[in-house]
Amino acid sequence: MPDYDVVVAGAGTAGCYAAATAAQAGLDVAIVERKSEEEAGHIACGDALKGADAFPESIPKERIEPAFTNTGVDHGRFEIPSEDTVLEIPVPGELAVIDRWEYGRRIIDAADDAGVDIHYDTVVQTVLQEDDSGEPSPDGSGRVTGLKATRKGEPVEYDAGVVIDAAGALSLLQDETDFEDTTFDTNVTYSQFCSAYREIVHVEEPVEWEDALVFKPTERAAGYLWYFPRTETEINAGLGFQMTEEPMQLVDDLKRDLRERPEFEGAEVEDKLGAALPTRRPYDSAVAPGYMAVGDAAGHVNPTTGGGIAGAAYAGKYAAEAAMDALSNGGPTEDALWEYNERVMDHFGARYAALDVYNILSTAVDIDEMMGLLAAMPGEKIAESLYEGSTSLSWRLKARMAIDSFGYWRDIYGLYKTKSVADDLLAHYEQYPSSPAAFDDWQAERDEIMDRVYATTGADPKY
């Protein structure tokens, strides 16, 4: 039976950064990946990577930079058909559109070079758990000690000091783990996620917006189209919808829009893929004895933009470092792994939780009214809200908005009230507890703020 300090389920961004970080520190590490060696790294993604200049050093930028296909993007282009307008929104920081499969292969190769054992064609079936005496638990509860899997059709077990779940959105490992008497977040349902489909499309002539990420709302609520230029003639074209809505005919909706855009006349499709991604707040706690979840498997995605690569990379780093500390200091108890939760919340989790308030608002407003309001707002302030979780307006901008947004003042007042409660939520997350002992009280106070979110937005409860 294989014996590793750390076993990582999944060879995506979070999994590779976690594995590389731990292996470079001298730990014995394995990644188990359900795909074949040829298919590994092939993941449905918007392909926009923000902040690559500040990624963890365990897989430095120079290892992934050859996968960057367009580094000239500096703004978002928000098309609003109902207002017959296009809103230009600046994107702060470094941004690149990437070849996601090439990027995926490069981070896997980097993990391999760090000394990680990578086991392809390995499908995880369940987790191993043991009781306080160190014996296998008859009821499946207790500390997670490894994984049961099938590798190339043959059963295999992995004994691990720590299991890191990087198996993606709605990870099946979490269905197989008994989290009773732990803080691990089990308040997770499909309705908190988005379903997405994307194609890589080649066009005959260069597009005019090769320096922009293009977004467009669908005719139905809680849906959006995107067009991200990998190059001036190779476009990542996709569509997603919130799973609270009735299922959309994703391919038909996307193809309809493609047919109506003259720049896509005669286009050829190279690749097609679908996926689910979190459009929810980060998990309240992503640790249990012997177990941590990272990346999409822990809701580490900006719920307003769907961006998750940078957060996943850092979640992997923080999880690996927490595992290393725990394994060298008495074992991977929940208390020992708790520093991982704190670092995630401090770095990006609090901000993402505040941004989730605006995602909740979007489920309760009329889409045309929302688009009209966005058309009246300054693009730089929308950018702050999308990426920072909060924004402020000078009196000059307020005056300009008052003129431009005549007819939307009721919506503006609602947005102002929503911003106020989002700021309160952000402040509360910035006081995330330093140990599991204070976790229940922190959650209770957070839930009181969420009650105000629902009352302010008029949305149905999300959690």
Sign of the dihedral defined by the CA atoms of residues 448, 454, 455, 457, in that order: positive
For residue 224, being part of any structural domain is answered with yes
Count of structural domains within the chain: 3
Residues 6+ apart with CB under 8 A from 18: 6, 8, 164, 166, 294, 315, 316, 317, 319, 320
Per-10-residue mean pLDDT for the chain, 463 residues long?
89 98 98 96 86 86 94 89 81 87 97 98 95 59 92 94 96 96 96 90 95 84 85 94 69 86 93 90 98 98 89 97 97 97 98 93 70 54 51 50 46 74 96 98 98 95 95
For residue 126, being part of any structural domain is answered with yes
Q: Tell me 347's DSSP state.
A: I
Residues 42 and 140 occupy one common structural domain: yes
Q: At residue 105, what is the residue type? A: R
Residues 39 and 83 occupy one common structural domain: no
Q: Nearest-CA neighbor of 170 among 184, 186, 157, 154?
A: 186
Task: Look at residues 323, 348, 373 and tell me which one is the last residue of a structural domain.
Answer: 348
Residues 149 and 8 occupy one common structural domain: yes
Residues 6+ apart with CB under 8 A from 272: 197, 198, 199
For residue 462, being part of any structural domain is answered with no
pLDDT of residue 454: 97
* R_g (Cα) of the chain, nearest Å: 22
Residues 29 and 92 occupy one common structural domain: no
Residues 10 and 38 occupy one common structural domain: yes
CA distance 320 to 327: 11
Q: At residue 155, what is the residue type? A: P
Summarised one tens digit per residue, pLDDT across range 73-110 is 998 898 888 778 888 888 777 889 999 999 999 999 99
Residues 168 and 299 occupy one common structural domain: yes
Q: Which domain holds residue 432?
A: 353-457
Task: Look at residues 348, 369, 402 and tell me which one is the last residue of a structural domain.
Answer: 348
pLDDT of residue 409: 44
Token pair, residue 162, equals: 């720590």
Residues 23 and 116 occupy one common structural domain: yes
Residues 163 and 220 occupy one common structural domain: no
pLDDT of residue 307: 86
CA distance 348 to 160: 28
Residues 253 and 107 occupy one common structural domain: no
Token pair, residue 306, equals: 């769907």
Q: At residue 261, what is the residue type? A: R
Residues 6+ apart with CB under 8 A from 16: 31, 59, 107, 108, 110, 111, 316
CB half-sphere exposure, 294, CA atoms < 13 A: 38
pLDDT of residue 410: 52
Q: Tell me 353's DSSP state.
A: H
CA distance 292 to 14: 11
For residue 463, being part of any structural domain is answered with no
Task: Look at residues 305, 329, 348 and tell me which one is the last residue of a structural domain.
Answer: 348
Token pair, residue 71, equals: 């580094």
CATH number assigned to the domain comprising residue 287: 3.50.50.60
pLDDT of residue 246: 62
Residues 86 and 155 occupy one common structural domain: no
Residues 303 and 156 occupy one common structural domain: yes
For residue 417, being part of any structural domain is answered with yes
pLDDT of residue 16: 98
Q: Nearest-CA neighbor of 356 among 250, 430, 463?
A: 463
CATH number assigned to the domain comprising residue 195: 3.30.9.10
Token pair, residue 85, equals: 């307008």
pLDDT of residue 399: 47
Residues 358 and 434 occupy one common structural domain: yes
CA distance 218 to 235: 19
Burial environment of residue 272 by CB neighbours within 10 A (0 to 12, 13 to 18, 19 or more): exposed
